[in-house]
Amino acid sequence: MAYQINLLPWREEQRTKYKQRFILMLILGVMLSVFSQWGVAQFLEQQTIQQEERNRSLKNRVAFLNEELKGLNEIGKQHEEILTRLEAVELLQHNRNQTTQLLNVLPVMIDEGIYLNKVRMHERQVEIKGFSDSNARLASMLDKLERSPHISSVEMHSIVSGEKIFGHDMSRFEVSFRLLSLRKENEEEKDNG
């Protein structure tokens, strides 16, 4: 029996093939790793760019809305100023009719034989000074003042009898009352009606 001895360097060739295969696999692995990292980096960079664009768009929108909000705040302030002015004008309109209201009320309240020499009005408080030829007429005037829906807080401050005026015995008097606002009268009429 003859032994065959292979003297060819087959182990070295096999080692060289394994080495070449290992290096090839290593190079392929490195290339695959580099390529996948590059792909992931590109993907993340694209995502970053898109997010920055979204952020920029949102910042622009927020700035635009802030400007609109400032405009709305200014409009709100103007609205409040207009309402304040409107209330002031309404009050002036209402108060300018006080004198007319007083002059409409007085002739109805003052009987013949009663003479006024001073009528003073401060805001809605009215003071009347005058003369009367009899105390009965003064009592009638006070009764009318107290019953009037246009007047409140009637007070007789003084009655001085026995003064000679125009050659007749007269009584000097001082009365004060509060003239009710037309607004209050209208509200009372609405409540009653």
pLDDT of residue 182: 63
Distance CA 29, CA 38 (A): 14
pLDDT of residue 189: 52
pLDDT at 191 over 80: no
66 & 135 share domain: no
151 & 103 share domain: yes
Sorting pLDDT into bands at 50, 70 and 90, what band is 113?
A: confident
- Tell me if 2 is assigned to some domain: no
Range of the domain at 88: 59-96
Give residue-wise pLDDT tens across range 26-62: 999 999 999 999 999 999 999 999 999 999 999 999 9
- Tell me if 3 is assigned to some domain: no
What single letter denotes the amino acid at residue 63?
A: A
86 & 76 share domain: yes
Domain count, the chain: 3
Tokens of 184: 């209050």
DSSP string of the chain?
A: -------S-HHHHHHHHHHHHHHHHHHHHHHHHHHHHHHHHHHHHHHHHHHHHHHHHHHHHHHHHHHHHHHHHHHHHHHHHHHHHHHHHHHHHHHHTHHHHHHHHHHHHPPTTEEEEEEEEETTEEEEEEEES-HHHHHHHHHHHHH-TTEEEEEEEEEEEEEEETTEEEEEEEEEEEEPPHHHHHHHHHHH-
- Tell me if 36 is assigned to some domain: yes
